[in-house]
Amino acid sequence: MQTLLLWLFYLSSFYAFIPGILTRIFGFRVFRRGTGLEDFALTFDDGPDPFYTPRLLDLLKRYNMKATFFLVGSHAEKHPEVVKRIHSEGHLIGIHNYVHKSNWLMRPVTVRKQVKRTDDIIYAITGERSRYYRPPWGIVNLFDFAKNTGCRIILWSSMFNDWRSKIGADKLTQRMLAKLNGGEVMLLHDCGTTMGANPDAPEQMLIALERVLKVAEQKGMRSIRIDDMMAKESKAKAKAKKLSPLKRLIVSLWLLWEKAFHAVFALETVNPEDPMLHFRKRAFTGKTVVMEDGSRLEKGDQVLELHFDNKKLFEIGSRSRSEVQLAIKMIRAVQKDLPSLANMVLDRPEFKDIKGLYAVTMISRGPEQFGFHVMDLPRGLFASSSRLYLKLLLSVIHPKGQARLKEGTQMMEPRMLIMPVDVLIGRYAEKKTQVLPPSEEQQEVQQEHAGDLAVASVSQGM
C-alpha cells in the first residue's frame, strides 16, 4: 500500500505539481506579463454573466479600454447575446474550459474536449476561433505543455482575490492601484457563480475597477487585449535582435557592471517589483550648498544618493520612438517612485538624519518641477570621468544612439541634483496607494523641456 501511494505521489508530481511550478515560477511556455511602459492588460475569468458582464462592458466602453475575457463554455452557451456583445465591442475572447474544473483532475483527452467544445460554442456565436486558453485556477498538467489544447496558455502577473466579496471595494482598489504598471496582466472575475466565489463579489470589483480606470486614464495608461500585448512583445524582441553584436556586448557588460555596483555599494530599490530608482545612504562630500529655500547642505551631512535602474533605462530607450517620448516616460517613472521614497524616509529610523536627496545627471532643464535644485558639477576628475561614462551610457539607451552625441555639447555636461528632505516629505509623503498625474500645466512643462532632457546616470548615479 505504501509503495502504491508513493508511486501515485510520483506520478501526480510529474503530471501536475512540476508543470505548475514551471509555469508559475519560471513562466515556461506561458504568457503572463508584458514589458510595455504604458499599456496593461485587464483579463476577466468565469463569465459571461448576464448581470455583471454587460455592466463591465459599459464601464470599459466609457473609458475606451479593451480587455480579454476567458469564458466558461457552459456559461457562454447560456448567454450567447453577451458573448456576441463582447466580440462586437472589440474585446478578445479566450477559453476557460467548458466547466470550471481543474486540469489536474482531468485526463489530457478530457481537457482537449473541454477546450474544443468551448471553442465551437464561441465560433458558433462570433464566427471566430479562439487561440488563447487560461486553465481554471491557472493549473496546467504535463500535456498542456505539448499544446494539448492547440492554444497559447495565458496566465497573469497579478491577482487580487476579487472573487471574495468581503475584501471590499476600498481594499481592492488599493491592491489594483499598487499593481497599475506597464506590462501588468491583471486577473479579475466578472462572474461569482463558480465554486469558491461569492455571487455578489463582482459588484465590489466593478466599483474598484472604475476608480482604477479613472487613475489609468489620468496617467495616460490604457488596457489592451492580450493578443495586442503579445504582438508588441514580439516586435520589441525583434527590434532587440537587430542590435549589432558590438552593442549587445556593450549592453551585457554594462548591465553586469550595474549588478556588481549594486552589490558592492549595497543599493536599495524603491520599488523592487518595478525598479526605477535605487538609493544608498552616504555622507555628502561636496562643498557647502545653499539651496533656494535657504537650507544648507554641508560636507558630512547624510544624504540619499539616487541611481536610475539602467536596465529600465535601456528598455525605455529601446521602445521610445523619440527623445521626447524617452524623457516623458522617465519623468513619469520618477514621479511614481518619489512618494514611496518619501514614506521610507519618514518610516525608517536610520533615515532620521537625512538632509536631502543627491544625484548626478546630464540634464539642462526639467527636474526643478519635482523640487530638485540643479547645480553645475565642480570641475575635476570626477566631472571628467562622469562626462565620459554618461556619453557612453547615452549612446546605448538613447533612441538616436551615437547621432545624439553629435548634436552639440552644451547639454553633455554632468550636473548635480539636490532636494532638501523637507521638500521631499512636504511634496510626496503619505501617498502610498496613488500617485496623481501631473496637472495640464505640468504636462506642458514636461513636454516643453523633454527635448532638452539628456538623461543618463553617472556610475549608476541618477
Q: Catalytic site residues?
A: 45, 189
- Let me know the angle formed at the C-alpha of 75 by 143 and 119, rounded to the nearest 5 degrees: 45
C-alpha cell at position 225: 487585449
Give CA–CA dist 123/108, Å, rounded: 22
Angle, helices 80-88 vs 52-62, to 10°: value is 10
C-alpha cell at position 45: 475569468
C-alpha cell at position 271: 520599488
Report which secondary-structure segment, H or E, holds 289: strand 289-290
Report which secondary-structure segment, H or E, holds 50: none
Report which secondary-structure segment, H or E, holds 389: helix 381-397
In order of 91, 276, 349, the CA distances from 332 in angstroms are 28, 10, 29
In order of 90, 221, 435, the CA distances from 215 in angstroms are 22, 8, 9
Give CA–CA dist 392/251, Å, rounded: 10
Give CA–CA dist 413/382, Å, rounded: 12
Give CA–CA dist 173/36, Å, rounded: 22
Neighbours of 175 (CB within 10 A): 18
The number of helix segments (H) and strand segments (E) in the chain equals 16, 16
